[in-house]
């Protein structure tokens, strides 16, 4: 577990700067389908640097950012310093430290695939108020809708240390149905991140499966990335396309 917690410790700066935001339709979904209100209390599990928490804070809701990585918590506190309703908590999905029936929503963005699902489900049920919602969110990078995305995927497979093991797409519909065990709803939105080369490099390096500078393949990997960018960029920019998926329901 400690290895999982520390996977992103050396990537916090890139994570803050270069991870994509979520489309505005995500907030609209919470308001229209799950009755999110300004008075709602949200537990953001695996909240990282606070990208997902900001959605709910901008709505005026209270957010507890549950995050076991100290570097990530510090980054979130800095990133969200203008939101007095944000509070970081040193906790995990399996042990949030929150009180029984204390939150209206439990959300997790880009993190559910790291959790012990049986223990997490028990903990979510404990902290949720009656009729509260659980929502799992992913910005899922499209793999083959453009020539750039196909070549970028090949690069990640070539150089990633354990890319095909830890990728969140390994979470199946059967896994989700077993976790929720009730009516499971899904919403899908389109999202886009337009970056220059430094942005593309930072986005890649923010991923836990990408070699760091001390890795002997780091230089070769960057050369490959530069060649890929030069081939596909237009006017010094390139689009990374995402499908944002939200799975939600009551457990």
CATH at residue 176: 3.40.50.150
* β partners of residue 109: 137
Look up the domain containing 100 and give its range.
Answer: 2-142+167-192+242-249
Establish if 237 belongs to a structural domain: no
Q: Tell me the whole-structure pTM to 2 decimals.
A: 0.88
pLDDT of residue 139: 93
pLDDT of residue 89: 98
Establish if 12 belongs to a structural domain: yes
pLDDT of residue 2: 41
Establish if 94 belongs to a structural domain: yes
Residue written as token pair 């559910």: 112
pLDDT of residue 15: 79
Reduced to 3 states, what is the DSSP secondary structure of residue 232? helix
Domain tally for the chain? 1
Q: Which parts of the chain register pLDDT below 70?
A: 1-11, 164-170
Residue written as token pair 């339709």: 25
pLDDT of residue 45: 98
pLDDT of residue 227: 98
pLDDT of residue 17: 87
Task: Kindly state the tokens that stand for 33.
Answer: 């389908």
């Amino acid at each position: 577990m400690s290895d999982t917690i520390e996977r992103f410790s050396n990537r916090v700066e890139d994570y803050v700067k270069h991870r994509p935001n979520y489309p505005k339709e995500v907030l609209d979904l919470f308001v229209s389908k799950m009755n999110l209100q300004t008075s709602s209390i949200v537990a953001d599990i695996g909240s990282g640097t606070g990208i997902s928490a900001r959605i709910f804070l901008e709505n005026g809701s209270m957010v507890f950012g549950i995050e076991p990585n100290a570097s990530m918590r510090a980054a979130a506190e800095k990133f969200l310093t203008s939101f007095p309703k944000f509070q970081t908590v040193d906790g995990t999905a399996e042990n949030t430290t929150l009180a029984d029936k204390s939150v209206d929503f439990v959300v997790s963005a880009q993190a559910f695939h790291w959790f012990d699902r049986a223990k997490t489900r028990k903990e979510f049920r404990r902290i949720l108020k009656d009729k509260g919602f659980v929502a799992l969110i992913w910005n899922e990078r499209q793999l083959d809708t453009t020539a750039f995305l196909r070549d970028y995927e090949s690069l990640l497979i070539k150089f990633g240390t354990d890319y095909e093991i830890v990728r969140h797409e390994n979470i199946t519909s059967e896994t989700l149905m077993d976790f929720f065990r009730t009516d499971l709803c899904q919403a899908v939105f389109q999202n886009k991140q337009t970056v220059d080369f430094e942005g593309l490099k930072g986005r890649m390096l923010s991923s836990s499966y990408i070699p760091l500078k001390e890795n002997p393949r780091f230089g070769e990997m960057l050369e490959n990335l530069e060649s890929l960018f030069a081939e596909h960029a237009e006017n010094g920019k390139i689009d990374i396309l995402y499908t944002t998926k939200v799975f939600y329901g009551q457990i």
